[in-house]
Chains A and B, each alone.
Chain A
Amino acid sequence: MSNAGLAQFQQVFVEESLEGLDTMESSLLALDEGGDGELVHTIFRAAHSIKGGAATFGFPEMASFTHEAESLLDEVRGGKRAIDKPIVELLLRSVDCLRGMFDRAKAGEPLNDAVSDGVRGELAAMMGRAAPAEAGPARRGSDQADGWIIRFQPHAGMLAGGNDPLRLIRELAAMGELAVEADLSRLPSLDKLDPSECHLGWTIELKAAVKREDIAAVFDWVEDECDLAIEPRPSAVVTPAAPAPANITEAATARGSREASPESSSVRVAIDKIDSMINLVGELVITQAMLDTFREEFDPAKLPLLQQGLTQLARHARELQESVMGIRMLPIASVFNRFPRLVRDLSQKLGKQVKLDLHGEQTELDKTVLEKIGDPMVHLVRNAIDHGLEMPDKRRAAGKHETGTLKLDAYHRGGNIVVEVSDDGAGLNREAIVGKAIERGLIRSGEGLSDEAVGELIFQPGFSTAAVTTDLSGRGVGMDVVRRNVSDLGGTVTIRSKPGQGSVFTITLPLTLAIIDGLTAAVGEERYIVPLISIIESVQLKPDSLKTVAGGGELFRFRGEYLPVLRLHELFGCVGAKRAIEDGLIIVVEGDGARVGLFVDGLVGQQQAVVKSLEANYRRVQGVSGATILADGSVALIADIGGLVRLHGQRKAA
């Protein structure tokens, strides 16, 4: 891109092409399952757009690769070739290659690699020919003369097609001196003349040493709409010019000069979201103008009006906040859409039959959450197919349908987004898990462990029960990483499982990372925000319910289990905080798979906190995820429950 202003369209091209590849993939999968012929057109159009854009925006390798796929699709589209499994397979791999090319383009690496070259070869072979070498346009040798006679007789309809003979003659005039003679012989009488038709013809003498092809190029668009003869001027000497060498160096230089595109993140926003915001800002301005009238003179009689204005202001501010948040919200469909392919590939590899059920694709998530939720979900889906769903014969023996069902669902629940990955497989194998946990020294025996507690075990670091480490799930990355990833997003992940009936993994995420719902807790003079999502309940303890263990740790009994007490005033060194356990309050929270009780002075209230980054303004502090400004203007720190739990673990170990 020579022009900096145009670089923005290269970014748009990359985004729309990645969407196009998603469309190609989902349509190919649908086609594989017997979808209709319209899908072929959709796939073709997507490939075609990528090809055209790639060439325009400086990715010739991509254009050339897509050209092969497009040619194959063109044959399918034109009915010359029936679509079958091998074609779908090859095209799916082509989609992967193109995605890889976009990744490499972003990283500034060469676009072609061994895989893409291989697939390119296969595409060409499928069409019965060798992969064409990338070649510059062939240059033909051209006739040259020092003057030309051009006989140009437009057909009557040429004007209607938007081609004006005068323009063509002007273009010739730009090449050199012209002598033009009009031929009026076909001009009808005035009563028969249709002004929208062309009746004139011209004989044009061009006194310039130009190539024949340059003249022909002027008439390129109208060859079929006129009679044209281009001849050397009689007196001219014709010398055949040597064929010009193909201009490869120039093309190669142009190719080499492409730079890696800088990564910039952008969000596409539906126009109605923006309209609603503009509308709200308008209302806000009106309310502000109304309130402004009180600045001049304040009449106590107008108090109700002032109150009404303030109420309105509050409502508009809240609505505006929601709409602004909404801009970052995108449907989870973009994440869900990668699973049909994954499920298809995995189930084929393992010889399992899996039906994928998608629900709630339109549920919207914060863009940042959306970008990061993919990996944990892929892990859960791999796990479900690998460990959860049984082989067809085993399912049949268990009286179930041979085809297992894997369901992905997303929905809102109480200010949170819930994403579920569920399967109707065998469910958790309690014995295997307990056995493994004992082997790993996580527990001493499985006796008395609730199903819930057994489920929790699989989230422990390094836990894996696969008898044979498959290349699918056994990648050394366990459920503990899934939990950490989700926890980094301020969310939680839990499992429910029933033997023989399947498992449900539930990921609960905050609506947005920019605002959290929390309880404000007082500790001495400080205020801390405890995220609502991690709170289980608050309890007040009697002095005798506290047990002190070796090393000075304190425990309390909560619903049959002993939980450690974390005294926030000790952790953060707060002055003037309550110390006696019966004076304060314990907030039972869950984070990073563990429950702890936070000891605070008391609860002040519930509020939505706008998260301000502590890292950006100060530095990272363990146990604190950010800060917020309270209504009175003071700063409150936001407790990072996962971090606090880890901090407690370290202190215990130390």
Chain B
Amino acid sequence: MAKILAVDDSASMRGMVAFTLRGAGHEVTEAENGQLALDAASAGGFDLVLADVNMPVMDGISMVRELRTRPAYKGVPILMLTTESHTDKKMEGKAAGATGWLVKPFDPEQLLATVKRVLG
């Protein structure tokens, strides 16, 4: 099973994501914002990163941009959890290096399906 980093400033969203993924047998590390996620990412090789877009301290897009500069995170799937279904936010995330996105609201089944999809 995979090592997954879940990044969201909202405790309920983060909790739901982590709970669902742990239930599926994944090892989940939680981070409250982009900066803390970068710190956590330095420590361990994650197989997948799920990140919210709007967060205090450091937003998800800046976090992806920074993460992609690290050799260890080249090619690691990073999904943006976004409520903005407008293409501009998705594309901004993509341009920063995100692999794809998962549009909120999503239910646990959708989350697991998407995670399964990226992890192959």
- A163 and B99 within 8 A (CB): yes
Residue from A10, A56, A160 in contact with B97 in the complex, judged by beta carbons closer than 8 Å: A160
Residues of B near any A CB (own CB < 8 A): 9-13, 15-16, 19-20, 23, 52, 54-56, 68, 74-78, 83, 91, 94, 97-101, 104-108, 117-118, 120
Cβ-defined contact, B75 with A16, below 8 A? no
State A53–B101 Cα separation when bound (angstroms): 17
Q: Complex: how many Å from CA A161 to CA B118?
A: 12
A221 to B102, CA, bound (A): 10
Q: Per a CB cutoff under 8 Å, which of B78, B91, B104 touches A55?
A: B104
Could you tell me which residues of chain A, from 1 to 48, have a CB within 8 Å of some CB in chain B?
2-3, 5-6, 8-10, 12-13, 16, 42, 44-45, 48
Q: A5-B19, A6-B20, A44-B54 are in contact. Are A161 and B10 (CB under 8 A)?
A: no
CB pair A63 B10 closer than 8 Å = no
- Which of A16, A51, A220 is the one whose CB lies under 8 Å from B100? A220
B74 x A52 contact (CB < 8 A): no
- The answer to whether A164 touches B56 (Cβ under 8 A) is no
24 contacts between A and B (CB under 8 A): A2-B108, A6-B108, A9-B16, A12-B12, A13-B13, A16-B10, A44-B54, A45-B54, A45-B55, A49-B9, A49-B54, A53-B10, A53-B12, A53-B13, A56-B12, A56-B105, A57-B16, A63-B105, A159-B75, A161-B94, A161-B98, A164-B120, A171-B117, A221-B99
Point out the residues of chain A lying under 8 angstroms from B9, CB to CB: 45, 49
Q: In the docked arrangement, what's the CA distance between A162 and B120, Å?
A: 12
Instruction: Give Cα distance in the complex from A166 to B119, angstroms.
Output: 11
The size of the chain A interface, using a CB distance under 8 A, is 38
Interface of A is mostly: helix
Is A10 in contact with B118, judged by CB distance below 8 angstroms? no
Residue A129 interfacial (CB < 8 Å): no
CB within 8 A of B13: which of A44, A52, A159, A164?
Answer: A52
> Does A196 contact B74, Cβ atoms closer than 8 Å?
yes
Total inter-chain residue pairs, C-beta < 8 Å: 101
CB atoms of A162 and B99 under 8 A apart: yes
- CB pair B83 A162 closer than 8 Å: no
A315 contacts across to B, CB distance below 8 A = none
A170 within 8 Å of B (CB atoms)? yes
- A52 and B105: CB pair below 8 A? yes
Chain B CB within 8 A of A85 CB? no
Please give me the 7 A-B residue pairs with the lowest Cβ-Cβ distance, nearest first: A221-B100, A162-B99, A55-B105, A13-B12, A162-B77, A12-B12, A56-B105
B59 to chain A: closest CB distance in Å? 9
Contact B54 A167 (CB under 8 A): no
Q: Specify which chain A residues have a CB less than 8 angstroms from the CB of B55 in the assembled complex.
A: 45
What residues of B have a CB within 8 angstroms of the CB of A56 in the complex?
Answer: 12-13, 16, 104-107
**Cβ contact of B10, chosen from A2, A44, A52, cutoff 8 A:** A52
- Report B-chain residues with C-beta under 8 Å of the C-beta of A231: none
Contact of A48 among B68, B83, B108, B120 (CB under 8 A): B83
B71 to chain A, nearest CB (A): 9
Contacting residue for B75 out of A2, A8, A196, CB 8 A: A196
**Shortest Cβ distance from A304 into chain B, in angstroms?**
49
Known A57-B12, A164-B120; 12 more pairs at CB < 8 Å:
A5-B23, A6-B20, A12-B12, A13-B10, A16-B10, A49-B9, A49-B10, A55-B105, A56-B106, A160-B75, A161-B75, A162-B118
- A109 at the B interface (CB under 8 A): no
Q: How far is the CB of A340 from chain B (nearest CB, A)?
A: 22
- By a CB distance below 8 angstroms, the chain B residues around A159 are 75
Which residue from chain B places its CB closest to the CB of A8 in the assembled complex?
A: B15
Provide the residues of chain A in CB contact with B20, threshold 8 Å.
6
Contact residue among B15, B91, B104 (Cβ-Cβ distance under 8 Å from A52): B104
B117 partner residues in chain A, CB cutoff 8 A = 167, 171
- Min Cβ gap B37→A in Å is 15
